[in-house]
Amino acid sequence: MLRRVRECSSVDHSNESAENTLTRSNCGVGVSVLSNTVVVDDPLAFEAIAKRLQLDCGCARGQPCYWSSASTWGYKTTDYLDYTLWENCLVNSVQLVPYRVFWYPGSPTYSPRRISFALYELGEDGEIDTLVYESMTFSAVKDMKMQSFELPLRVFLSRGVLRLNLFDRQEDIGLDVAQWMQENDLPPYYTCLSYVGVTGLLEIGTQQE
């Protein structure tokens, strides 16, 4: 139900853009399937297969399938992603999948610590206007798995915008890997998302591009 990315707080590299979050990646789907098999009980085997999935996906070969924030020199920061929704939709829940880098030492998951979201209507000038719904703040699970946050009541939007707020960061790039990237002996922190989605209902006859 997300039509396009409207804006985001930052991007680390241009090919790690928020547009990558609009569809589920090949590795994201593969890791989800893998998580429901007996392999999940063997961490070494799980990570080895997941790394192969990301090699096949291309994200381990310089073709990112995720959004990455720009770096910060500490974990306390706020990021956001704004999405335009399809017209005349009824929103039921917001979903996200953090990105786990199985091809990087330690297989870190660059998830936020907490998230919240807000739904707005656009004004006649095409700018964000009326706040329709604002969620509480939720804890985010540090794992590459689908996390769904349901609204207490469905929200109808004629020309809606979703703002996803991402609070604080859980993972840095590693002191042993990025000595040249450090500042004041601190490694850079990132947030990376594989997927963002909205569930609900679209008005009959809505044409998706």
Three-state SS annotation for 120-148: EEECCCCCEEEEEEECCCEECCCCCCCEE
Determine the number of helices (DSSP H) and then strands (DSSP E) in the chain. 2, 12
Q: What is the DSSP letter of 33?
A: H
Domains in the chain: boundaries? 2-202
- Residue of higher predicted confidence among 124 and 173: 124
Using one digit for the tens of pLDDT, what is the confidence trace for 20-67?
A: 999 999 999 999 999 999 899 999 999 999 999 999 999 999 999 999
pTM of the predicted protein model: 0.90
Amino acid at 1: M
Closest CA to 93 of 149, 161, 159, 157: 149
Query: What is the structure's pLDDT at 188?
Result: 84
The CATH fold of domain 2-202: Jelly Rolls (2.60.120)
88-120, pLDDT tens digit by residue? 999 999 999 999 999 998 899 999 999 999 999
pLDDT digits (tens, 9 = 90+) for 176-197: 555 555 455 567 899 999 999 9
pLDDT reported for residue 170: 86
19: left (phi over 0), alpha (psi -120 to 50) or beta: alpha
Q: CB neighbours of 182 closer than 8 A, spacing ≥ 6?
A: 175, 188
* Two tokens, residue 71: 């770096």
Exposed/middle/buried for residue 107 (C-beta within 10 Å: 0-12, 13-18, 19+): middle
- Residue 209 is predicted with a pLDDT of 45
Q: Write the DSSP symbol of residue 102.
A: T
